[in-house]
Homo-oligomer: A and B are copies of this chain.
């Protein structure tokens, strides 16, 4: 299915230490999964159009990832480790920004085939404290997320 509506992310707080993000992509699930797990593809959307260097990305249980984004406001490193990799279904990994080292969220992404060629991705982040949860929401997460997902929309149209 194709739509002219601009897709939007729905961001909610299902519990005081959680952030839930729901987004529908106009592409089949295998293609969306590839875009989330193939380093060459991640490099094309995760950085919102900025240069993204993927230093590590071992997509398997226990593997590490580390991305460095070269943006107009400087260089930002992000890293974490994979807890669960279930192809096309679930990807669970930790997330840590160099600017707040030792503050670690656990991100659980699920990929749902909507049966009409579209895929719903739901990401739930769990923080150690409510302060970290609130800080993430206040950090300008939402515009950055929307830019990344818009870049992903464009990338998905080019994947065969």
Contacts and interface: CB of A to CB of B under 8 A. Distances in A.
Nearest to A104: B104
B106 A128 contact: yes
Integer count of this chain's copies in the complex: 2
Interface residues of A, number: 22
B101 A62 contact: yes
A74 interface: no
A143 interface: no
Nearest to A102: B83
A98 B82 CA distance: 11
Interface in A107-133: 126-129
A70 B93 CA distance: 27
Contacts of A128: 106, 126-128
